[in-house]
Amino acid sequence: MNQGPSSPPETARRFGVWMTAGAWIAVLAVASLVFGDWLAERENPNRRVDTDVGGGVREVVLEQNRAGHYLATGEIDGTRVVFLLDTGATEVSVPLGVARRLGLRGGTPRQARTASGIVTTYAVELDRVAIGGIVRRGVRAHVNPHMPGEEVLLGMSFLRHLELVQRDRTLTLRQDPNRE
């Protein structure tokens, strides 16, 4: 007796297999999203930076990441970037890929001493740099075509105008408008 292309029990079995596969795909997708967010939070625990303002002083508290660095999401000229705070860097250093995304054109070439040796960088001035509510205008920087990744080194051309206090695994940045 021929029942056509597939019998009702066979159709139900195929439907069950597809439903099971779909459920596993959904579980893996959700797990991937949750795990990816968890990893991103461990890499940059300062993706959302809050500012406390008291007596005119702006204060931002950053947490160290698992590698012991201070990363924070901020802005250059209104575009979101990820900063790696680097008190050993003289200026803000922007990787070439980020500079292109920001529309920065490198100016005068000059030599810079980096952890990788001496490299040629290109001078720029950033109109506005912000981390939380702490904002500086006219910040000296350079485009570094030899710098990999997407993290902008937030160097002393920005940080020297702030009070920095490190305790345990936090770094507090304070901007006193009376001392600028």
Angle at 146 between CA 140 and CA 150, to 5 degrees: 75
pLDDT in the model for residue 22: 72
Confidence bin at 173 (pLDDT 50/70/90): very high
The answer to whether residue 171 scores a pLDDT higher than 90 is yes
The answer to whether residue 3 scores a pLDDT higher than 90 is no
Q: Which pTM value belongs to this model?
A: 0.73
pLDDT digits (tens, 9 = 90+) for 83-100: 999 999 999 999 999 999
CATH top class, domain 52-179: mainly beta
Q: Where are the domains of the chain?
A: 1-43, 52-179
> Tokens at residue 24, please?
């596993």
> Tokens at residue 111, please?
């030599």
pLDDT in the model for residue 19: 74
